[in-house]
Amino acid sequence: MHSLSSLCLVIITLIPSIHLNQQPDYTNYHREVLRIEELIAEKQFEMALDAYDKLFDKYQFVFLREYKIAAQLAAHLGDEYRTFEYLGFGVASGWTLEGIKKHDKLKYLKRNPRWSDLELSYAALRQDYEYRINDSLRQVVKNLSKEDQKMAWNYLFRPSEKSKNKFIENVAIPISERHVNHLTNIIKTHGYPGEQIIGNSVWASTILGHHNSLSPEYQLADKLYPTLKPILLEAIKRGEMNPYDYAIIEDWYLSVKSDRQIKSYGIINPLTQEDFDRSNEMRSDLNIRSIELRNKLIEVEIMTGIDLHLGHGSWVRGKIIARD
């Protein structure tokens, strides 16, 4: 692995080329992450760190979540060298010093002599992240998100069910369709505007989630999202979209379209025991963790205090337990 100082010297060579044909297939990336999570669930933390090292060496773009977890694991094991290496990689991927300082598992590192080295290297490491991000596109998607949030709040405070339905028909649907068309054009031109390209995975996925939750009648007739689905799946393969973001978007679609009769990933609606097998099969197809693995990882969080970022793309807090 690179030392923190040498990392600053090679950041330009590590900058990924966004939306290029020679990018690796991130299907394998997510499978490797699942294997690492299985090691963590079995409390094989040293082996998990070794697997993280191989992952980091293999891919130019790594989701920030992986660096955050690796840094915490290294700190938990008392491996100072690795901890600061992962912090450096994290900063080069968008992690801020302020975020590290506030992190319950890592804030004690401010007392470590190597902390001053990280502070001195911060600007150079941060340049890597800033060079990767498409700022103009980020602002476009941010503005779409603001309009989407305003629409959602206006709907929420309608005084009656009748006025809410009227708002959906007359206001929400036209705005949402315009947003989805805009995002589709962005994806075709620049790639999916998520963590890799704009440094934010929330804005676009929330817009699409809102679009998929308008009404059962609309979802049954909608042609925009079904057309977009294969494009999103390709974006996952390129590492532009996190599969957990896709899962929550698709979960909304299937749930609302069926008037909450279809249970899929177990993100929006609680599952019965009968739903578990189908949910795990869908999760496996998308290379996201099974319900059982998620529940084991929550136990590790409780035992160690490590934040494994399991809330990403999930409305369910804690373990997923079957409902009667």
The model carries a pTM of 0.90
Statement: residue 10 has pLDDT above 90 = no
Report residue 315's pLDDT band, with 50, 70 and 90 as the boundaries.
low
Positive or negative: CA dihedral 99, 101, 104, 110 = positive
- The domain locations on the chain are 4-132, 135-262
Using a 10 angstrom Cβ sphere, with 0-12 exposed, 13-18 middle and 19 or more buried, the burial of residue 323 is exposed
Please choose, from the candidates 73, 78, 76, 77, the residue with its C-alpha nearest in 3D space to the C-alpha of residue 90.
Answer: 73
Q: Can you say how many angstroms the Cα of residue 10 is from the centroid of all Cα atoms in its chain?
A: 26
Q: Whole-angstrom Cα distance, residue 198 to residue 139?
A: 9
Statement: residue 164 has pLDDT above 50 = yes
Buried b (16+ CB within 10 A) or exposed e, 148-180: beebeeebeeeeeeeebeebbeeebbebbbebb
Per-residue pLDDT, 320: 85
CB 13 within 8 A of CB 226: no
Question: Which residue matches tokens 């979540």?
Answer: 65
| Helices 64-76/26-41 angle, 10° precision | 30
Instruction: Outline where DSSP puts E strands in the chain.
Output: none
Query: In the Cβ-directed half-sphere of 138, how many Cα atoms lie within 13 Å?
Result: 13
Question: Which residue matches tokens 């379209």?
Answer: 257
Question: Which residue matches tokens 């490491």?
Answer: 125
DSSP 109: G
Across the range 11-24, mean pLDDT stands at 47
CB 95 within 8 A of CB 109: no
Statement: residue 3 has pLDDT above 80 = no
Question: Which residue matches tokens 């909450």?
Answer: 260
Statement: residue 23 has pLDDT above 90 = no
Across the range 238-264, mean pLDDT stands at 94
For residue 181, what are the contacts with CB-CB under 8 A and spacing of at least 6?
224
Question: Mapping DSSP to helix (H, G, I), strand (E, B) and coil, where does residue 323 land?
Answer: strand
Distances, alpha carbon 302 to alpha carbons 100, 209, 258, in Å: 20, 30, 36
* Paired tokens of 129: 């992240």
Question: Chain-wide mean pLDDT for the chain?
Answer: 91
Amino acid at 270: P
Across the range 142-147, mean pLDDT stands at 98
Per-residue pLDDT, 165: 93
Question: Which residue matches tokens 């206001």?
Answer: 171
Positive or negative: CA dihedral 154, 159, 164, 166 = negative
Q: Whole-angstrom Cα distance, residue 190 to residue 53?
A: 29
